[in-house]
Amino acid sequence: MTWRLLPPFLPALLLVIGCGERAVTKRYPEAAKTPPSCLRLQIHPFSEPLERTLRALYPFRTDCPFTLEVEHKEDIGCNSTQNVQRKTLSRFPRNFLRLEVRRGPIPLYSYYVDLDHPADGEDARRAFARLHGDLTLRP
């Protein structure tokens, strides 16, 4: 099927529908060899609401060799003209939340989601639930 046979509004509709808050996850092969038995928490930049939510969900330990790195950014500005149509026709994400589990420098798992609002406790809860299920964490 060629694009000429599609209704003229369909490409724009696909752009709007395709712009959701879907998480991208990756489980590295090392995770199967060395599943995390505990986690240490690091949040960059520090966010009290994210820390409070995550600490309520899991008993993090400061002496654990496995680290959960949480990174979030807000109000990301993009000067590229590459996404002009997408920015105009949809809610273009300006924020993100990333969780990564590492053992030292070795990545075990990553979770990334674009957000159209600043990362909050509910986003952290949803991300950690996915991480917890994918890695089958033990407290």
- In the prediction, which pLDDT does 22 show? 87
In sequence order, the 6+-apart residues with CB closer than 8 A to the CB of 95 are: 72, 73, 74, 75, 76, 114, 115, 116, 117, 118, 119
Q: Read off the pLDDT of residues 6-65 as tens digits, 9 standing for 90 and up.
A: 444 434 433 443 445 689 999 999 998 888 999 999 999 999 999 999 999 999 999 999
Do 59 and 36 contact (CB within 8 A), yes or no? Answer: no
pTM recorded for the entire structure: 0.74
Given this model, what pLDDT does residue 6 score? 43
Cβ-based neighbour number of residue 95 at 10 Å:
19
Helices of type H across the chain: 10-17, 29-33, 48-57, 84-89, 121-135
Strand ranges for 17-121 from DSSP E: 24-27, 40-44, 66-73, 95-103, 106-115
Task: Quote the mean pLDDT of the chain.
Answer: 81
Q: What is the pLDDT of residue 76?
A: 57
CATH of the domain spanning 3-135: 3.30.160
